[in-house]
Structure 1
């Protein structure tokens, strides 16, 4: 059995059923943690405007321009791979502080870059931070969140990603009048510094991690600060009992990604990896990264294509706010199914608009509705689910491997999008993405359970049933 794995109701981490004052404190912690999501969004979005000026200053050819964009994704894959082990060994809090420091180093390299190769190194370093943060933040948020608000707290990560993207577009717009691309990158140092200081001075360690590391007294202090000492003692004793039983299981002593080899974890792993790939192969980042190019191809040429990206960023943000309101009301499955259905229809229409030459405004409308459909469902719910589906001892590793696949898929799609467009046509390429969304509809309907307002024991029982597996008993461990 996986270390820390339990089907005892109410034991999915120590923070369950906390009072209102405790919830407010959790939200404050979550806001600091989610700065990692903000930097994820900012540093992936800022390049769209900065590249317009970098390519002239350094006389970059098409390959060099593409490498400046895509090298961040390579770094993100590497960062995501290492994030799980770092979060297990250092703890969630220290891991996040290290990631904030790496953000600062990457930003400094880009801001002072004298040549193309320094740009590449700076973007690679930023990618390491982006990938690691994207894997660490959902785990940390999941482990400090009571189940009643867990969906909203986890969706906060996606909200901060979209805010980061939108702010990067505004910063690009502000610096575009004089072409100061170094200033565009430099602004990212402010949230990175806040993240480092806030993490070290204001955040506690994950109580669940502290308990599993044998630091029960420290965990008791954290839990009591948002609940009471009696509740803290009860939950610590329950988690320790579960941990002792688990140590005698078939994966006792597994470290890092080793816990993912357990048959009990396999259904969660299949869902996590499939959703990770599907989120990217559904085409979203071809819109985010290549929005100016795509919009220009509709015939709506403008002097400042960045302005269109701002409009897209606003829609992305507004619909993510809607998702936060819905995720603990409508549930994860409904949002996923509705999102994929909307994306599928819009991709079919968007492809058709290019193939038959529809009015440019219609093409832009289909693009905007597609983004809205993604932002209300598949965008945020993927990050929610990877924090909910894996058993506690496999959560960091599961999030890490799922995020690695997400970034690898992002890299592949971004790399081949323009060549595929040149080979088969823009409209036909969007139809390929539509096929992915059709597969996604079937997969979610068949294999993804509802997790809203459920303890891990209930979530796992529903997940195992969808894979025609019998849940192990009800005893802890």
Structure 2
């Protein structure tokens, strides 16, 4: 063992251990990378307040209001679907820079939109960038994270999403008196520019990608910059062996292990199911429509935006709590507790509308629901999709799971207002409660603990939980 480094069981990315100075550098990289998550949160959250004024300027009906919110998700699906293959071809860093440039372009179109159609185009362009970033950031973070802080760094993505949502709410509040929704959108140009500049000049390429593309010297240099040359040599050799093993599992006609291969299928089923559950549990109906929902309890539009800021603060605080717990408590118990509390609180939220409870009680149940999501399922989902897939298909697995997440988001967001008009808002929230309860049963049966475990251990546990005979070639490797 090299002095200053620890032997850690399993590895997800080439950076398995780092010196204290190296850990600080990796954390800085992770925070910069997670600006993509910030933009994800900002561009999904800013529309909630802007919509209160856009609907009057452009005379939008309920369907048009829903489409302004949800059309971003169409672009997000397309961006997420293409992100995996493009990241494998171009590299993680370059694609993040492209995503930042697309964010800038979409922001400009939104600010200068002259009508409903142009605004839809802007939201689709922003969606392409949001989807790309949401699929790519967890992969990049996973591949630069030492095992002992992997959960914390992967959770940073959700932290930045919640920061983005909160900043969006604060921006909405700042411009609420004048109703200047164009200024609300324009503020997104600043973090987009930060991402472009960081990807062009400061961020390293993922060592995993460099090794897979025979850029071994560059990968060794990146790893040595946070460890030392001897450790870098050892880790590069280890990753090269794993790449050879993964390619050996693929039929001769393939260039790499397929996402649809039988030994990857349990991870795929788990990733896609968690992606759908995270959205069909109802979270983004509250994130997108928080001011609208609060307004329906009898408060004014400006007061609704003010209370939505409080919701954003709770979202941020609970995400910080999750970051503290994820590498201590583990992923599985956090998701189970989160789903249980979500089911109860969203049921009570529905009851508050059906029984016409006071605004205070309605807000309490809404805050409890968001706190439960932000302290568990919200951040841990993004951690898990960076962990459950084997390294050879991690980008594609994250991309596919993220695409399903966005498809689910689109369906729920577009359908929420029309369904609530037909069934009633309270009854619609009860549907979300039922989905959370079913998800609790699924997670109890199929989700393994991934904390402190490498790909081989996770793969074997998934095989066991899904009733699949383990591959005898799967062995637990240690650095």
TM-score range, shorter chain: over 0.9
- The C-alpha deviation readout for 1:333-363, integer Å capped at 9, x for no partner, is 1110110010111122222222223333212
Structure 1 residues 64-463: aligned runs within 5 Å: 64-251=64-251, 254=254, 259-301=258-300, 303-463=302-462
Whether the 8 Å contact between 1:245 and 1:476 is mirrored in structure 2 is no
**1:200 positional shift:** 1.4
Tell me which moved more, 37-46 or 420-429.
420-429
1:9-39 Cα offsets, whole Å, 9 max, x none, are 6343211122211111110100110000000
> Is the CA contact (8 Å cut-off) linking 2:12 and 2:387 kept in structure 1?
no
For 1:408 and 1:263, how far apart are their aligned partners in 2? 25
**Does the C-alpha gap of structure 1 residues 474 and 74 become closer, same or farther in structure 2, counting only changes over 3 Å?**
closer
C-alpha distance after superposition, 1:180-214 (max 9, x if no partner): 22211111110000111011111110001100111
TM-score, normalised with respect to structure 2: 0.94
Distance (whole Å) between structure 2 residues aligned to residue 208 and residue 253 of structure 1: 23
Q: Distance in 2 between matches of 1:246 and 1:330?
A: 31
Higher mean C-alpha deviation, range 67-76 or range 376-385: 67-76
1:426–1:155 Cα change, 3 Å: same
Secondary structure, counterpart of 1:45 in structure 2: helix
CA contact (8 A) 2:454 2:476 kept: no
> Where does structure 1 differ by over 6 angstroms across 4 or more consecutive aligned residues?
none
Q: After TM superposition, give the deviation of residue 179 of structure 1 in Å.
A: 2.1
- In the TM superposition, what whole-angstrom CA distance separates every residue of 1:346-390 from its partner, at most 9, and x where no partner exists? 122222222223333212111111110000001001000000000
Alignment TM-score, normalising by the size of structure 1: 0.95
Work out the CA distance in 1 between the residues paired with 2:253 and 2:162: 39
Contact 1:9 1:456 in 2 (8 A): no
Structure 2 Cα separation of the partners of residues 395 and 70 of structure 1: 27
Deviations 1:124-174 (A, max 9, x none): 100000011000000000000011000000000000000000001111111
1:253 CA drift (Å) = 5.9
Give 1:229 shift. Answer: 0.8
Q: Write the distance in 1 (CA, Å) between the matches of 2:435 and 2:223.
A: 43
**Structure 2 alignment gaps of length 5 or more:** 1-7
Q: Distance in 2 between matches of 1:220 and 1:271?
A: 33
**Greater displacement, 344-353 / 378-387:** 344-353
> In structure 2, do the counterparts of structure 1 residues 237 and 38 end up closer, same or farther at CA, with 3 Å as the change threshold?
same
1:24 correspondence with 2:24: yes
Conserved? CA contact 1:282–1:436, under 8 Å: yes
Give, in whole Å, the separation in 1 of the partners of 2:200 and 2:301.
45
C-alpha contact (below 8 Å) 1:251/1:262 kept by paired residues: no
Partner Cα separation in structure 2 for residue 254 and residue 382 of structure 1: 30
8 Å contact from structure 1 (residues 38, 164) kept in 2: yes
In the alignment, the residues of structure 2 paired with residue 25 and residue 160 of structure 1 have an alpha-carbon distance, to the nearest angstrom, of: 18
Q: Please give the secondary structure, in 1, of the residue aligned with 2:259.
A: helix
Check the 8 A contact 1:83/1:400 in 2, yes or no. Answer: yes
Q: Structure 2: how far apart are the matches of 1:476 and 1:69?
A: 46
- Give the aligned partner of residue 467 of structure 1: 466
Name which of structure 1's ranges 457-466 and 24-33 shifts more when overlaid on structure 2: 457-466
Cross-structure match for 2:4: none
Q: Does the CA contact (< 8 Å) of 1:11 and 1:239 recur in 2?
A: no
Contact persistence 1:100–1:193 (CA under 8 A):
yes
Take 1:247 and 1:365, find their aligned partners in 2: how far apart are those partners?
A: 52
SS of 1:304's partner is helix
Shift of 1:244: 2.6
Q: 1:386 to 1:422 in 2, by over 3 A?
A: same
Q: CA deviation at 1:303?
A: 4.5
User: Contact (CA 8 Å) 1:9, 1:458: kept in 2 or not?
Assistant: no
Counterparts of 1:476 and 1:376, CA distance in 2 = 31
Q: What is the SS of the residue equivalent to 2:258? A: helix
* Structure 1 CA distance for aligned equivalents of residues 104 and 202 of structure 2: 19
CA distance in 2, matches of 1:426, 1:178: 30
- Judge which range, 242-251 or 431-440, deviates more: 242-251
Q: Which ranges in structure 1 are unaligned for 5 or more consecutive residues?
A: 1-7
- Given that 1:247 and 1:253 are in contact with CA atoms closer than 8 Å, whether structure 2 keeps it comes out as no
